[in-house]
Structures are given as C-alpha cells and as structure tokens.
C-alpha cells in the first residue's frame, strides 16, 4: 500500500459520537459493593445466603458526594458480581437484595442520587454467575442473563455505559458458558442507544492491566481484532488472582497503533477500528471493601499521577472506590478523594494561556485554541506553535487536545521555553489524542514553543492550555 493511501486509511478511522461523549467524561468511578463486602472476599462462590447482605446505613447520596469531591463525572455499580447476588429487584432469581435484611434496590437508589448530584450512571453485570443453576447450559442461561440485562437497561433511566469483563469460569454445576455477546449487545443498543459497551464490547477497550499503568503512546486507531480479545474464555480471568490485578503491561502489548504495527496488520488481512482505552484501578489493593486495607489506600500524589497519565494520556480513568459494610464510602477513602480533587482543581482551574497570544504559521489562533467549541486543522505534517504570555509565568503542565472527530493524527511533538534568552527543551511527547497532559519541572518563561514534528496527514488541535502546580510535585 502506498504511503499516501495508507495514511489516508489511518485518518479515515474515526470515533462514533457515542465514543466521543464517553471520552469527554474522562474521570469516572467504579463502586464494587455487594455480597463480597459482607463476606470479606473478592470473589464469592454463589453459595452465600441473601441474609448475609446487611448494610446498617446505606447512603448512596454519600457515595455521590464523595465522588463529586474528586471531580468524578460518572460511576458504575456492580449490579451483579460473579457470586450472582443482584443489587436490584429482579424477577430472574431470589438471590437478590430484596430478600436481604435491607430490601432496598441499590441500583434504583443510586440512580436517584446520581440525578441529584449530576453524575452519569453505568452498570456492571457479570456474565459469570456462580449461583445460577442454568449457567453453562447455553441458551437457557443466555435467556436468564438477558432478563437481568433487560431489567437493568429499562428501569433506571439513561445509562452512560454497560460494563462487562471476560470472566468465564465454572458454575455450580461445574460447567462453563459460551456467552452470546451479539445478543447481549443488541439488547443494550435497543434499550440504551447512547450507552457505551465497555470493556468486553465494541466501544471501549481495557488498557491491559488493573494496576493503573498506561502506555506512553496510546492510540485509539488499533487492530479490529482487539474488539474480540477480551471476550474469549481463553484470555479471561477464571480465578481471583492478585497477580492478575497487579500485572503490568506486557512488552508485546506496548505497541498497538504505530504506523509499522498497523501496516503489518493490514498486510496480514486485518482491519482497523476506533477503540479507545480505559484505565481501571482500585483506590485500595482489592476491589471490594476489606477493613484490613484501611491503611493501604493510594496516596493523593499516586492517584494524581495515574490521573495525569490516563485522562491525560488519551485514555479514561475508572477509579474503583468500594463502599463499606455500613453501606457508605469510608471516611478514609472519602478524605483521599477530596484531597485528589483539590489537587486536580488547584492545578487545572487556571489556564495561563487564556490571555496569551497563540500563533500558528503567523496567524493568531488565540481565541480558537482556548475554546472547546472550535478547533484548528493544519495543512502540513509539521507545525510550529508560538505562545507569548503577557508576562513571565511559571508552568508545570501544558495540555494539548486533538479534535478526535477528525481521527487521531499527532505522532510526535516537543515543547521548548525561552529561559534567560535561550530556548530550552522542556518536554518531548508522542501521541496526543483526546487529551495529553504534559508535566515537567517548574519553568518560568514568557515565550513558549510547541513543535508538532510528526503527524498523520496533518494535525488538528482543539485546545492548548498552560498550568502551574503550586505543589510542585514531579513524579
């Protein structure tokens, strides 16, 4: 394939509007809550009695308050985990919250709280059910599962996503199930057409680990076959393995979207798709609440680092915050969320480029590039951007955003500042995508220069921002 037609092929791969709206959310939360909260396990076996579930002061408003303090925009509730216990009123099984000492539909309560606190709601429904006797039976289990999926997607208002993993182990009968993913997806598309299907699904992919690691170069244009990788039983998680939760990105998974990698994919008969990544990580070592982990909460600086490398690395962040046995987010977790939110707001609330003169090719683009409603499109692969502040300012962060509706194009860029009359290299980066947060040591300058050195066809920019972290913490 000629280089020109190959590059044209790459930039022709673009997101659906559903994927754009999903990525705009940026920072979301996972709420692992259910039977495991009360058995102090990560994975239940489905033999638990509904009476074991007994929160003493369930308060979904408090969950939302804690998440909002961190700057979270949406949350996902574990409507059913692998133990099969449903946190919603379902006609499919008696193994549900309505037969517990606190017969409150948790999904309904959270839906009301999310509306009150202006958070979007998503649901997780485990396809692996260790309680259901029909699990492993083929269509009878799919019928059972689809009843639950239909209930969740029709009763609780608009959902921003339905979240699946590829967990596929044995049920109570010793059998495994071959999931009818096309059938599941069709129900979601019918009932919730604006909901993204993550991460075993066509809209959003898994970053590749559960430890908060993200790639230096994250591409959203990737091989089509990645859409099917996590939905296969051979690659699914079949037991509770802490090494799986902590596994860093393997070397063979580092490059998913370079020109060389995608060229080889096309030459081998593969296809390409737009498939953005989500970074999934827990605020604690486990995903459900365990009192022995109260002193093992991630620090605010560690969470900030994960935030900047995920939300600021062309991915989205899904941070798990598990409610405790009272039915509340613990005071320690809530305090850490507030601390994280304060750090994010302290850094990114004051865009020092908002009053700067921004020139591209001698043309003043100042108004355009500080306004999310507009974007700039170049006409050459390499672009020089000059930024002149009203006076010398100290910066620690620069944010760049492409207009991903025109695909992902920037492959390499660098940042320089004029310090003491000399231009100094400050930062070198690769991909930008929806958002790139460039973090560097505090640098004081009035004149800044951004050079896009490599791009596919020509670059786009939707936003440029400059910021100062008064905490001056660089990891």
User: pLDDT by residue (tens digit) across 318-344?
Assistant: 999 999 999 999 999 999 999 999 999
| Residue 440: pLDDT band with limits 50, 70, 90 | very high
pLDDT of residue 240: 58
One domain, residues 233 and 120: yes
Residue 475 lies in a domain: no
| pLDDT tens digits for range 180-234 | 999 999 999 999 999 999 998 999 999 888 888 889 999 999 999 888 766 654 4
pLDDT of residue 242: 53
One domain, residues 160 and 41: yes
Instruction: Give this prediction's pTM.
Output: 0.94
Q: Cα–Cα–Cα angle for 182, 186, 189, nearest 5°?
A: 135
pLDDT of residue 250: 36
Cα–Cα distance between 362 and 349 in angstroms, integer? 29
Q: Is the pLDDT of residue 474 over 70?
A: no
One domain, residues 341 and 372: no
Q: Is the pLDDT of residue 238 over 60?
A: no
Secondary structure letter of residue 418 according to DSSP: E
Of 339, 404, 402, 335, give the one whose Cα is nearest residue 369: 402
One domain, residues 276 and 396: no
Of 189, 71, 178, give the one whose Cα is nearest residue 127: 178
Mean pLDDT of 370-380: 84
Mean pLDDT of 283-304: 97
Q: Which residues of 437-465 are buried (b: 16+ CB within 10 A; e: fewer)?
A: bbbbeebebebbbbebeebbbbbbbbbbb
| pLDDT tens digits for range 154-168 | 999 999 999 998 788
One domain, residues 340 and 384: no
Residue 108 lies in a domain: yes
Which residue in this structure is represented by tokens 């800044």?
448
Cα–Cα distance between 356 and 445 in angstroms, integer? 12
CA atoms within 13 A on the CB side of 329: 29
The reply to whether omega before 199 is within 30° of 0 (cis) is: yes
pLDDT of residue 246: 46
Residue 474 lies in a domain: no
CATH number at residue 455: 2.60.120.260
pLDDT above 70 covers a percentage of the chain that reads 93
Alpha helices in 156-299 (DSSP H): 181-191, 226-229, 242-246, 259-267
3 state SS of 29: strand
Q: Which of 322, 348, 374 is the last residue of a domain?
A: 348
Q: Is the pLDDT of residue 248 over 60?
A: no
pLDDT of residue 341: 98
Alpha helices in 93-223 (DSSP H): 106-117, 139-155, 181-191
Higher pLDDT, residue 371 or 255? 255
Mean pLDDT of 130-150: 97
Q: What is the DSSP string of 79-131?
A: EE-TT--BSS--SS-S-BGGGSSS---HHHHHHHHHHHHT-EEEEEE-S--SS
pLDDT of residue 172: 76
What is the torsional sign of CA 33, 34, 40, 46? negative
Range of the domain at 56: 3-348
CA atoms within 13 A on the CB side of 393: 23
One domain, residues 79 and 221: yes
pLDDT of residue 11: 97
One domain, residues 9 and 141: yes
One domain, residues 53 and 188: yes
| Residue 251: pLDDT band with limits 50, 70, 90 | very low
Average pLDDT across the chain, whole number: 92
pLDDT of residue 145: 98
């Amino acid at each position: 394939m000629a280089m020109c037609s190959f590059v044209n092929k790459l930039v022709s791969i673009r997101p659906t509007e559903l994927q754009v709206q999903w990525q705009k959310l940026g920072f979301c939360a996972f709420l692992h809550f259910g039977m495991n909260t009360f058995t102090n396990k990560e994975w239940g076996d489905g033999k638990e009695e509904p009476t074991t579930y007994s929160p003493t002061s369930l308060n979904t408003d408090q969950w939302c308050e804690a998440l909002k303090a961190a700057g979270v925009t949406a949350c996902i509730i574990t409507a059913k985990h692998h133990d099969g216990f449903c946190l919603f009123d379902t006609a499919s099984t008696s193994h549900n919250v309505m037969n517990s000492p606190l017969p409150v539909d948790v999904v309904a309560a959270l839906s009301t709280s999310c509306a009150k606190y202006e958070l979007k709601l998503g649901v997780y429904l485990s396809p692996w059910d260790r309680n259901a006797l029909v699990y492993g039976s083929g269509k009878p289990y799919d019928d059972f599962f689809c009843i639950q999926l239909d209930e969740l997607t029709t009763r609780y208002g608009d959902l921003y996503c339905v979240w699946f993993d590829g967990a596929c182990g044995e049920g109570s009968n010793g059998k495994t199930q071959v999931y009818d993913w096309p059938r599941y997806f069709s129900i979601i598309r019918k009932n919730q057409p604006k909901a993204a299907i993550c991460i075993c699904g066509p809209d959003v992919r898994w970053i590749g680990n559960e430890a908060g690691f993200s790639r230096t170069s994250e591409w959203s244009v990737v091989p089509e076959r990645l859409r099917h990788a996590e939905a296969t039983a051979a690659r699914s998680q079949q037991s509770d393995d802490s090494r799986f939760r902590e596994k860093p990105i393997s070397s063979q998974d580092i490059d998913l979207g370079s020109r060389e990698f995608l060229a080889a994919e096309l030459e081998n008969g593969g296809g390409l798709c737009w498939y953005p990544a989500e970074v999934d990580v827990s605020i604690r070592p486990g995903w459900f609440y365990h009192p022995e982990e109260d002193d093992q909460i991630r620090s605010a600086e560690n969470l900030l680092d994960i935030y900047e490398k995920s939300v600021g690395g062309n991915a989205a962040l899904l941070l798990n915050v598990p409610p405790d046995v009272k039915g509340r987010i613990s005071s320690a977790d809530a305090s850490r969320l507030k601390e994280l939110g304060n750090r994010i707001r302290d850094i990114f609330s004051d865009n020092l480029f908002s009053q700067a003169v921004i020139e591209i090719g001698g043309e003043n683009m100042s108004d355009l590039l500080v306004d999310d409603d507009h974007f700039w499109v170049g006409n050459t692969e390499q672009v020089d951007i000059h930024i002149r502040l009203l006076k010398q300012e100290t910066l620690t962060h620069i944010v760049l955003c492409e207009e991903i509706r025109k695909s992902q194009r920037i492959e390499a860029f660098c940042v320089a500042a004029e310090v003491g009359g000399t231009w100094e290299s400050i930062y070198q980066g690769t991909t930008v995508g929806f958002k790139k947060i460039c973090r560097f040591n505090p640098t004081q300058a009035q004149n800044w220069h951004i050079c896009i050195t490599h791009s596919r066809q020509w670059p786009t920019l939707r936003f440029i921002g400059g910021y100062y972290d008064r905490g001056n913490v660089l990891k």
